[in-house]
Chains A and B, each alone.
Chain A
Amino acid sequence: MRRVADPQQTIRARGEPMLWLCGGALATCLLMVAGLLLFVGWNGGATFWPRPLMAVALRDGSTLLGEVTRDDTYTPSAERLAELPDEWRTAATVAVQSRGGTAHRRLLRTGNTGDHFRWVDDFAVTAETRPELAVVIDRRASVEREAWGKWYGYLDALLLDGEPVATTPRDALARIAKEHPAAMQRNERIESLREHAIGRLADAEEEARLAIRRADLRHGANSPQHGLAQAAFDALRVEQVQARKAIDTELTALRTENERWQLRLRNADGRTEKLHLADVVRIHAPNDLSLAGQLSVYADRWWEFLTAAPRETNQEGGVWPAIFCTVLMTLLMSLLVVPFGVLAALYIREYAKAGILISAVRVAVNNLAGVPSIVFGVFGLGFFCYIIGGSIDSLFYPERLPNPTFGTGALIWASLTLALLTLPVVIVSTEEALAAVPSSMREGSYACGASKWQTIRRIVLPRAMPGLMTGVILAMARGAGEVAPLMLVGAVKLAPRLPFDGDAPFFHPSRSFMHLGFHIYDLGFQSQNSEANKPMVFTTTLLLIGVVLFLNVTAVWLRSRLRRRFVGAQF
C-alpha cells in the first residue's frame, strides 16, 4: 500500500518556509549593505564631477548663474504667493494651480559671496540658458580677500601688470593653462617657506627659550647655566635676524611676481571684479568641456582630495593628513593590541587551570566588548592623557609647562585607547584559534621533549595564526571606524603637522592628529555652510569605507597566505 503524504506535512518536512525565512533574512542583510554602499558611492562619487552651469533670468530682473544641486516639488502657501509682486502673482498662481497646487523649485549654487545657495521657483524664471563660456573657479582664501570657494561667472581677460594679454575667454583660458602651473609653484614655495623655513626658525628659538627655562628649573635663575643659555639664546636671535631677512626677501619677490597676473572677471549681474591668478586653484568652463575634459577635471579634483592638505577650514582641498593619520593610528593600535591580546589569551587558554576565576575573567572580557566606546574615550582622557601624560610631562618636559606635551590628546593615547577598546575582540578570537589547534599536535610536540613554551611558540601559535589574524581584522575594522573616543583623546579638526615628518625624531606620538571619521563629523555638523559640505561628507565617507576596506583586505590576504602555509590541505 502506498501512503500519500499530507501536503502540509511535506512542506514542513522539506522545511521550505524556514528556507525562505533564512534566505530572506540573508537577502535583506545583503540588500541593506549593498544599498548603503551604492548610496554612499553614488553621492560621494558624483561630488567631483563638473556639473553644467545654468544662467537663469528671474522676473525681478536679476540673473543668477550657478549649478543645480538638487530640486524638489513643494506646496507654496497662500501667503508665499500673496507676497509676490502684483505683476507676476497671477502667472504664478496659474502655474501653481495647473500643477494641482504644487510648485517645482531648484536649489542653485551661486557661490561668489555670502549667500551661496538660492532656491529658484520655476514660476519666477523668465529665461534660462547654459552659457557656453561661463566659468567656475575654485578660489583660495588670501590675506587681503576673505571670500573663497566657488566663483561662477565669465572670464573677460587675463592681465599682466594691469595690461590685458588675452582678451577673448578662450584665449584667456588657454593662456591661464600655460601660466597657472608656475603660479601654483610659487604658491607652494611660499607655503613651504612659511611652514618649514620660518617654522624651523621659530622652533629653534623656542628650543633656546626652553633651554633657559630648563636651566632655571635645574640650577636656579642666577646660576652660570642660566647665563650660558641666555647667551646662546641671544646669539641665536642675532643669527636668526639674517636668516629671516633672506626668507622675507624671497617671500616678497614671490608675492610680487604673483601679483603681476590678474584675471578680469564679470559675474552674472555684469559687475566686473579682479582676481589674482595665484588665488585660483582651478578654473574651467564646464559647459564647454568635452567628455575627456570632464574626466580630467574629475580626476584632478579626486587627486587633490586624496593627496592635498585641507584648505579653507577643511571645506575645500584634500584630506591627505586625515587618511595618513587614520591608517597610522589603526596600525599603531594593532601593533599595541595584538601582543597584549595574544599573551592574555595564551595565559587564559594554555596556562591557567580552568575554574571559576578563569570563567569570571572570560565573562569580564566579553562584557568589556559591550562597553560603549565613549566610556573608553573618557577613560583614555582621564588615565592616559591626564595621569600618564601629565606624569611624563612633569618628569621629562617640566620646562614646557603649563603647555602640555604628552598631557593632552595625542596619537599615542588615541592608539592606546582604541587598543583597549579592541582588546576583547583579539582575546576572544585568539582563544578560539588556540582551542582549535588539535591536541594531537601539542601531544606530538610534548612527546618530542618540547617544553610548554616551545610547543606554544613552534606549534600552537603558527597553527593558530590565521585565527589570530581574524581577530586582528575585526579589531582593525572596529578601530578604524571608531570616532567617539577619539574626540576626547586627540583627534582634532586641523592638525598643523603630521605625526610623522622629516624633523627628528621623525615620529612624534605626542602630536594630535586628524581622522577621517572625525573629519566627516566636523564637515557635516560643525561648520557654518553645511549645504556646501554635504557632498564632501559623502565623499569622505566613501573614502573612509575605502580605507577600512583596504586595511581589511590586506589583513585577509595575509591571513589566507598564513592559512595556506600552516593549516594546509590535510585530507
Chain B
Amino acid sequence: MAEPKRQIPRRMDMMQPTPRPLPASPPEQPRTGDRHTSGVLDAIARGERVESRIHEQVANEDPVLGIENFSLFYGPSKALHDVNLRVPRGKVTALIGPSGCGKSTLLRSINRLNDLIDNVRIAGDMKLNGDSIYGPRVDVIELRKRMGMVFQKSNPFPMSIYENVVYPLRIDGVRDRAMLDEVCERSLRGAALWDEVKDRLHASALRLSGGQQQRVCIARAIAAEPEVLLMDEPCSALDPIATGKIEDLIWELKGTYSVVLVTHNMQQAARCSDYTAFFYLGRLIEYGPTETIFTRPLTTETEDYVSGRFG
C-alpha cells in the first residue's frame, strides 16, 4: 500500500454514499396504480411465461453484449427462462437477485464456462459486439480471450504475481519481454495494485492478502483488454476495506471496460452500477437504470427485494 493513511479514510468514506451518491433508500410512498402488481410469483407458480419489465433508458444505450431469448437447462431442470438482456457498452451492469436465481449461471454462460459441466443444454443465443457466442462455428477459446472474468473466491495461480497477470498473454504465446512488462504494469495499475506489489512482482501471488489476491485476479482479467469484464460476486469473500477498494476499482474501470457484476449485496449494486437487472427464479424480472430500480421499481417483487422484504 503506497499511501495507506490517505487511502483507508477514503475507504471509510466509501462505505458511506460517497464518492458516488448512494440512492436514497426507497421512499415511503404509497403504491400507485401504474405499478405492476399482477403477481409475478403467482404467474411463475402457474408455470406461465413472465414478461421482463425493461426500462426505456436501456434501449438508448449502445449494447456491447446482447442476450437473446437465452434459456439454460441443468439436465431436466430449467435454470434460466428466456432471458433478454442488453449490456451497455462502457457501463457497469449489476445482476442482483436471491440465491439460486440464476444470475451466476447467466454470467458463466456469457464466456461459456458452463460448457465444462456435463448435462448443460442451452437455447437462444448471445451476441458479443454482434458476433454470436453460441453459434455452431464459434471457437470457445478465442471467445473467452475476448472476455475477462473475476471469480467469487480469488483464484490466483500458483506462480509469481507477474506470471499471474501476464497469463492470458503467455497462453497466446507472447514472448516479448517488453510487451509483457508493459501489460503487467498497465494491468496492475488498472487494478490499483501496482504501488503495493511493484517491488515484488516475482514473489508468489499466493503470499498476498485476500484483497490483493482478488485484485491480482482483476489485473489478470483486464490484461488481455477484454471487451466485457465479468465479475462474479468479487467481494463476497473480502473484508469491508478490501471490498471498498474493489468497488472503487470497479467504478474506475467503468468507461474503459463494460462490466457485468453479479452481487448479493444490494448496497454494492447501488453504489457501483449504472444499470441493474433483478433476477428471480431464473427469470429476468426487471432491468433498468440502477437509481430507478432502487427508488421507483416497476414491479412489487423488485421493490420487495431491494427493500429487503425477501431474498
Q: Which residues of A does B touch, CB under 8 Å? A: 353, 438, 440-451, 454, 458-459, 462-463, 565-571
- Flag if A568 contacts B151 (CB, 8 Å): no
Q: How far is the CA of A442 from the CA of B156 in the complex (A)?
A: 11
Q: For residue B153, which residues in chain A have a CB less than 8 angstroms away from its CB? A: 440
Residue B204 CB within 8 A of the other chain = yes
Q: Secondary structure of the A side of the interface? A: helix
- Flag if B116 contacts A443 (CB, 8 Å): yes
Residue of B nearest to A354 (CB): B118
Residue B220 CB within 8 A of the other chain = yes
Given contacts A441-B155, A458-B157, A458-B171, contact A447 B206 (CB under 8 A): no
Residue of B nearest to A353 (CB): B118
- Flag if B158 contacts A447 (CB, 8 Å): no
Closest 7 CB pairs of A and B: A568-B206, A449-B145, A447-B149, A440-B155, A449-B144, A444-B155, A566-B158
Residue B257 CB within 8 A of the other chain = no
Count of chain B residues near A, Cβ 8 A: 33
Q: For residue A353, which residues in chain B have a CB less than 8 angstroms away from its CB? A: 118
- Flag if A449 contacts B171 (CB, 8 Å): yes
Q: For residue B144, which residues in chain A have a CB less than 8 angstroms away from its CB? A: 446-449
- Flag if B157 contacts A569 (CB, 8 Å): no
9 pairs of residues in contact across A and B, judged by CB atoms under 8 Å? A443-B116, A444-B151, A444-B156, A447-B111, A447-B144, A448-B224, A449-B224, A567-B206, A570-B206
- Flag if B220 contacts A448 (CB, 8 Å): yes
Q: How far is the CA of A443 from the CA of B153 in the complex (A)?
A: 11
Residue interface bits B116-128, CB-to-A below 8 A is 1, else 0 = 1010000000000
Residue of B nearest to A457 (CB): B171
Q: How far is the CA of A240 from the CA of B155 in the complex (A)?
A: 72
Q: Which residues of B does A touch, CB under 8 Å? A: 111, 113, 116, 118, 141-145, 147-149, 151, 153, 155-159, 167-168, 170-172, 204, 206-207, 210, 217, 220-221, 224, 230
- Flag if B157 contacts A444 (CB, 8 Å): yes
Q: How far is the CA of A444 from the CA of B152 in the complex (A)?
A: 11
Q: How far is the CB of B192 from chain A (nearest CB, A)?
A: 20
Q: For residue A442, which residues in chain B have a CB less than 8 angstroms away from its CB? A: 116
Chain B CB count within 10 A is highest, among A438, A454, A569, for A454
Other than the known A440-B155, A447-B113, A568-B204, what 15 A-B pairs have Cβ atoms closer than 8 Å? A438-B155, A443-B116, A444-B149, A446-B144, A447-B111, A447-B147, A447-B149, A448-B220, A450-B141, A463-B158, A565-B204, A566-B158, A567-B158, A568-B207, A569-B207
Residue of B nearest to A451 (CB): B141
Q: For residue A447, which residues in chain B have a CB less than 8 angstroms away from its CB? A: 111, 113, 144, 147-149, 151, 221, 230
Q: How far is the CB of B43 from chain A (nearest CB, A)?
A: 35
Residue of A nearest to B157 (CB): A459
Q: How far is the CA of A462 from the CA of B143 in the complex (A)?
A: 26
Q: For residue A446, which residues in chain B have a CB less than 8 angstroms away from its CB? A: 113, 116, 144
Q: For residue A445, which residues in chain B have a CB less than 8 angstroms away from its CB? A: 157, 167
Q: How far is the CB of A451 from chain B (nearest CB, A)?
A: 5
